[in-house]
Structure 1
Amino acid sequence: MSTAAAPSKLSMNQVLLCGALIVTLSMGIRHGFGLWLQPITMERGWTRETFAFALAIQNIAWGLAGPLAGMLADRFGAFKVLIVGGLLYALGLVLMALSTSGLAFTGSAGLLIGMAQSGTTYAVIYGVIGRNVAPEKRSWAMGVAAAAGSFGQFLMVPVENWLISGTGWQNALFLLSIASLLIVPLAFGLREPQQSRAHNAQHQSIAQAVREAFGYRSFQLLMAGYFVCGFQVVFIGVHMPSYLKDNGLSPQVATYALALIGLFNVFGTYAAGSLGQRMPKRYLLSGIYALRSVAIVAFLLAPLTPMSVYIFSAVMGVLWLSTVPPTNSVVMQIFGIQHMSMLGGFVFLSHQVGSFLGVWLGGKLYDSSGSYDVVWWLAVALGIAAALINLPVREHAIARSQTPAAA
């Protein structure tokens, strides 16, 4: 009797290398968008809310397109979604540079780039990791991919600041559009064998998977916690440069602060992925959110100096994207790998709703009150809530009936 051969898979090293480079580019470029706030609004004569609203739309478009991008990646292959995402990214950056009205800027920097990010970041990459990396190494591998996104921030933010200073903000966007096209050839390194994806698609329809996830309490709690993550990191990432300048600190301090967040998050996300192999992930997530609130309170109460900014940035950097590996790993533990990219996209949608509110409220409340204080303290309160929300999460695989799924 012959034994069926196991479906071939991509090597773990290949998946991590190509996935890490794609996330480095995609996340690295978008982390520096806050550096464009003042030069664009000053030249175009726009309010900060106009710029902030476009980036808020970017985040919500990213979130809304995420489940669809994940569904397509699970069904037809991640590399096809990544190619389309890379092309959209380049187009969005070019049109962002050429936009002369708030509506056009919202369509390019907001809608197009948001859609591009849904197909070039974590949900799609984590689906490939889940299908090609052994279960005992998945949390660690997710930490490596998230650390790559953090390294992208550390690498790209100073580069973007240098490009803006040396070539002007428009030319800087044109050059970044060329860089984003590198995602296309890298996507072919994540082209999975057809039989591998077919082997994993055995039991559930898409509709069944969605109903199961949204009816499960722990999935709801993870989504609520991820909402807070989005609110905090996007508010800080976009508005902190202007907050520091408003308080008399030089633009270089903001550049170094964002770079430090990226540098220290390399260690934070890697550590979160590794710790997720050794301890309950719900406790890890709860601790991360609680420590964020402590860090923000200390930052607001301490005298604002370059050194206090750098210390805050380093601490927040450790906590910045460290929620990503444990959150996605828990989703995979509960529901399995068949619909991982799609379910990860739904969780990330909640993150992006939080991002929308964080970046938009930052601009809205600043324009109405002349201060970011209310949003800072709201971020503190939400962090405490997220720490409590994650404690009841159940991490074990969901119990399913053995009856076959309907065709």
Structure 2
Amino acid sequence: MSTLTSLRPVLPILIAASVMLTISFGLRQSLGLFMPAITQDIAVTVTDFTAAIALQNLVWGFCQPVAGIAADKWGFRPVMVFGALSYASGMLILATAEGVFGVILGAGICVGVGMACASFAMTLSVTSRLVPLSIRSTALGVVSAAGSIGAMITAPYAQFLETAFDWRFALFGLTVLAALIIPAAWIAGKVDRSAPLVLSANNSDRLSAGAAVKTAFQNSSFVVMAIAYFVCGMQLVFLTTHLPSYLQICGMDPMLGASAIGIIGGFNIVGSLFFGWAGGKWSKQVLLGIIYCARSLVLAWYFILPPSPESTILFAALMGFLWLGVSPLVAGSVIEMFGLRWQAMIQGLAFFSHQFGSFLGAFGGGWLFSRFGSYDLALTIGISMGLSAGIIQILFALYKTPAKPLPV
């Protein structure tokens, strides 16, 4: 009770950070819904649209470590507010796009910068600085779960607006939501005054940014985690970008794609809470490997069979449970290895690997579909790499450090 009572003064900051995350993540998860309409209405091909989403992921990954360094130098508030403004601008540009340039600038560059400065890494860094060590892993899971609420609500909302009006009206509606990230980022920025960083002597907190980066890449556990994170990004962004299109090709109701993304968001909440809690009890690295293997098996099961509304809903529920659980595990692993000061930057280094995988998942999936007329090869590659990454992650974690016992 005393621990919960101590959190009361910082609850407005934690809630604002969660709102910032849930809107930014929910909007991004919904962009794939607009690919069929945009490619039919303006001079944009499937390859062009997926290239914009792929660029978004590269920009996000490249800017994430930079945003972490900037937050350490100037504070979280200016960085997060800048990201919020970039995000809202990107959605507005996408809503008014007339060709490839508008789609790439809006959905690609501006949203990518916004995600780097006002999404996962910043939200989890804010949380880590405010929450006691005893409940930190659980708190990271709770805040990650908040990010899932956005996907659960935003996708059906966007699909409803698009069906009732058109894709431009729907994107204008999402732009209004994006504008709410700005006040949320301002309030979350109070962490700069509420949680002064206490440096520790037994990790990289006292190092310069360059020395901390060098230390990270000399840590074999971090390197393996970052490489496996690449496959995580490839699988997930392939799904958010191409699942609605895949279901439409198979003759399913367009609303099913939005419902699937919403269900993924709902079960993300359960998965984030569970893996946040589990990361405080068992090896975070082993749990990451288990997630990657389980995801790959679920992907193989779903795409081998002809899709149906029932199998799609079950697939979305299973993938949702396994989706965002990686966030508290990766964030917690980075803190355990390197401390709090450079968490956003070092987590950003791992995340760049994730985002390069996301680039290949979005763009590579579209390119392979355009070339071969199906998603079969893209799925085979994604499933095989996911199983390989998961097994390597588990074996290395068990070999490198004694793992805490896993539940039976």
Aligned counterpart in structure 1 of residue 180 of structure 2, from 170, 179, 182: 182
Cα offset for 1:16? 2.7
Aligned CA distance change for structure 1 residues 395 and 170 (closer, same or farther; 3 Å): farther
1:365 equivalent to 2:365? Answer no
Give, in whole Å, the separation in 2 of the partners of 1:358 and 1:64: 17
1:223 aligns with 226
Using the size of structure 2 for normalisation, the TM-score is: 0.91
Give, in whole Å, the separation in 1 of the partners of 2:30 and 2:54: 15
Aligned residues: 389
1:322 aligns with 325
Cα offset for 1:301? 2.4
Matches within 5 A, 1:321-360: 321-360=324-363
Give, in whole Å, the separation in 1 of the partners of 2:242 and 2:339: 37
Aligned CA distance change for structure 1 residues 349 and 395 (closer, same or farther; 3 Å): farther
2:168 aligns with 170
Give, in whole Å, the separation in 1 of the partners of 2:389 and 2:10: 33
1:236 aligns with 239
Residue 67 of structure 1 aligns to a residue in which SS?
helix
Cα offset for 1:15? 3.5
Tell me, yes or no, if the aligned pair for 1:142 and 1:325 is still in contact at 8 Å: yes
Matches within 5 A, 1:286-301: 286-301=289-304
Amino acid at match of 2:57: N
Matches within 5 A, 1:142-291: 142-190=140-188, 191-194=190-193, 196-197=195-196, 199-200=198-199, 203-291=206-294
Give, in whole Å, the separation in 2 of the partners of 1:172 and 1:306: 24
Aligned counterpart in structure 2 of residue 92 of structure 1, from 77, 90, 110: 90
1:27 equivalent to 2:25? Answer yes
Amino acid at match of 2:363: W
Cα offset for 1:196? 4.0
Give, in whole Å, the separation in 2 of the partners of 1:36 and 1:339: 37
Tell me, yes or no, if the aligned pair for 1:10 and 1:192 is still in contact at 8 Å: no
Amino acid at match of 1:224: I
Cα offset for 1:363? 0.8
Cα offset for 1:103? 2.8
1:385 equivalent to 2:384? Answer no
Encode CA deviations 1:340-371: one digit per residue, 9 max, x unaligned.
11111111111110000000011101111110
Structure 1, unmatched stretches of 5+, are 1-7, 397-407
Tell me, yes or no, if the aligned pair for 1:20 and 1:144 is still in contact at 8 Å: no
Amino acid at match of 2:233: G
Give, in whole Å, the separation in 1 of the partners of 2:273 and 2:314: 20
Give, in whole Å, the separation in 2 of the partners of 1:84 and 1:10: 28
Tell me, yes or no, if the aligned pair for 1:9 and 1:192 is still in contact at 8 Å: no
Residue 123 of structure 2 aligns to a residue in which SS?
helix
Encode CA deviations 1:66-125: one digit per residue, 9 max, x unaligned.
111111122322121111111111111111122222133212210111011111111111
Aligned CA distance change for structure 1 residues 12 and 389 (closer, same or farther; 3 Å): farther
1:112 equivalent to 2:100? Answer no
Instruction: Give the ranges of 4+ consecutive aligned residues of structure 1 lying more than 6 Å apart after TM superposition.
Output: none
Residue 371 of structure 1 aligns to a residue in which SS?
coil
Amino acid at match of 1:126: L
Tell me, yes or no, if the aligned pair for 1:74 and 1:342 is still in contact at 8 Å: no
Give, in whole Å, the separation in 1 of the partners of 2:31 and 2:359: 14
Aligned CA distance change for structure 1 residues 308 and 77 (closer, same or farther; 3 Å): same
Cα offset for 1:395? 6.8
Amino acid at match of 2:185: A
Tell me, yes or no, if the aligned pair for 2:43 and 2:99 is still in contact at 8 Å: no
Give, in whole Å, the separation in 2 of the partners of 1:80 and 1:199: 21
* Cα RMSD for the two superposed structures: 1.8
Encode CA deviations 1:240-294: one digit per residue, 9 max, x unaligned.
1110111111102112111111111110111110110111112211111111111
Tell me, yes or no, if the aligned pair for 1:11 and 1:132 is still in contact at 8 Å: no
